Amino acid sequence: MRIATWNVNSLRARLEKVMWWLGRARPDVLLMQETKCVDADAPVSEFSAVGYQLVHHGQGQWNGVAIATRVGADLVSSNFGEVLHSRDQGDEDSVDPFSEARMVAAACDGVRVVSLYAPNGRTVGSPHYAAKLAWYERLSRWLAESASADEPLVLGGDMNVAPADIDVWDPAALAGATHVTPQERGAFQALCRFGLADAYRLRHPEPGRYTWWDYRGGNFHRNVGMRIDHLLISRPLVPRLVWTDIDREARKGKPVPSDHAPLVIDLDEPGEPFDPGWPAGA
């Protein structure tokens, strides 16, 4: 079973790229974030035409999460099983993460998958930063109340946390910034203490591998990036993990790609082979 996660940075704008990647990698389940469309505008028919069911939880210009699956989707839930708080759809500066479409879950062929888009946090000490930590606390509480590390479980998505210094291009350059503070890393580690493992690090101890690069300054070509997209797997899935990688090739070319790259894991047996495009020795 192949499971992937990808912050697509607008599903409608990147639909051609997403369809290309489905054909390239043939995931059984693709978790997506920052879909930036309401449910009524989600491209359900386009996914159906290539053999995927699309589960979508969105709200327009910002946020939005989805699960594309070719192995079925049952027990769908969103927003930790609660109704989204009301918000002004034009309020880009909302500090209530529970008014934003940031979580959707489903059972796919015996594996419970959760697509997550964590708040950015913006500036350390700001209300947005406090909201990010509150969202992580709610995620941990939902896990304790509604899930088990002894069931097949995958938490995936744009977590907006680089778990360790090895996950950023230059720790000194990011000192005092979001994504790397002890509080954010502690919130990420709380998920691991629940009984989840960072699937990528189980297979890749090397530095210099990232999932996000800013569009500006030629950062992608200079490999100035961060590993902030993750697939966390429960105990029963650890021995089933046979392969994982970040598809750097999907961050290239036209139409203009997302600023994130897909992260992929294979359970039980390898999926469709592809070259993720990392330079030799990188």
Sign of CA dihedral 59, 103, 141, 230: negative
Q: Please tell me the pTM assigned to this model.
A: 0.96
- Taking the C-alpha atoms of residue 278 and residue 281, their distance in angstroms, rounded to an integer, is 8
Which pLDDT belongs to residue 60?
A: 81
pLDDT of 89: 52
Burial class (CB in 10 A: 0-12, 13-18, 19+), 39: middle
- Residue 279 located in a structural domain: no
For the chain, count helices (H), then strands (E): 5, 14
In a domain, residue 189? The reply is: yes
**Tokens in use for 194?**
């629940």
Q: Does residue 273 lie within any of the structural domains?
A: no
| Ordered per-residue pLDDT tens for the chain, 282 residues | 999 999 999 999 999 999 999 999 999 999 999 999 999 999 999 999 999 999 999 988 889 999 999 999 999 999 999 988 986 555 556 789 999 999 999 999 999 999 999 999 999 999 999 999 999 999 999 999 999 999 999 999 999 999 999 999 999 999 999 999 999 999 999 999 999 999 999 999 999 999 999 999 999 999 999 999 999 999 999 999 999 999 999 999 988 899 999 999 999 999 999 999 998 755
Specify if 230 maps to a domain.
yes
Looking at residue 91, what is its pLDDT?
54
275 located within any domain:
no
Rounded alpha-carbon distances, angstroms, from residue 144 to 96, 100, 135, 141? 22, 22, 14, 5
In a domain, 238, yes or no: yes
pLDDT given at position 90:
52
Q: Is residue 74 part of a domain?
A: yes
Closest CA to 131 of 214, 233, 78, 63: 63
Number of structural domains the chain divides into: 1
| Residue 33, domain extent | 2-267
Q: What CATH number did the domain enclosing 172 receive?
A: 3.60.10.10
Output the pLDDT for position 93. Answer: 66
Give a yes or no: residue 24 inside a domain.
yes
Per-residue model confidence (pLDDT) at position 255: 87
